[in-house]
């Protein structure tokens, strides 16, 4: 399985999950075999701006099967689902810890992520416009 996580920086498993999927400059693709991390790849997002579906296609092209993210708009989730990619929102913290918790099926997510992002941005609806 290949898990994809938007990252705050290019430090791989040592990076934290980015607060908003569509604004991440880097993605960490983590390869899992027999419930263990077997390797990972840090990939810089190849475009400055993106349109609907660009990031889901980018993830699909890099073999992503599951996306663990903090915040993500409904449209982006829908695009991923259409591509057969599972999305989990509300994931936060160091990527290595998030992936391990996901593998062990004990991942705790922030169910209030959308409200926090809206409050941070000073208005509602931002998560629906961003990907």
DSSP-derived 3-state class of residue 63: coil
Least confident segment among 32-36, 116-120, 126-130: 126-130
Phi-psi region of 122 (alpha: psi -120 to 50; beta: other; left: phi over 0): left
Is 30 exposed, middle or buried (CB count within 10 Å of its CB: 0-12, 13-18, 19+)? buried
Model confidence pLDDT, tens digit, residues 40-63: 999 999 887 777 788 999 999 999
The residue segments making up the domain with residue 59 are 2-129
Residue with tokens 């591509």: 83
**Percentage with pLDDT > 70 across the chain:** 90
Can you tell me the mean pLDDT for 30-36? 96
When divided into structural domains, the chain yields a total of: 1
pLDDT: which is higher, 116 or 22:
22
């Amino acid at each position: 399985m290949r898990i994809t996580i938007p990252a705050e920086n290019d430090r791989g498993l040592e990076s934290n999950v980015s607060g908003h999927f569509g604004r991440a400059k880097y993605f960490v693709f983590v390869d899992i075999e027999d419930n263990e991390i077997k390797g990972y790849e840090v990939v810089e997002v190849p475009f400055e701006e993106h349109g609907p579906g660009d990031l889901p296609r980018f993830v699909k092209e890099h073999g992503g099967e599951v996306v663990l993210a903090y915040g993500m708009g409904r449209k982006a989730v829908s695009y991923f689902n259409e591509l057969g990619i599972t999305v989990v929102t509300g994931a936060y913290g160091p990527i290595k810890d998030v992936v391990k918790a996901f593998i062990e099926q004990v991942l705790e997510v922030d169910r209030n992520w959308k409200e926090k992002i809206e409050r941070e941005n000073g208005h509602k609806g931002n998560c629906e416009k961003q990907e």
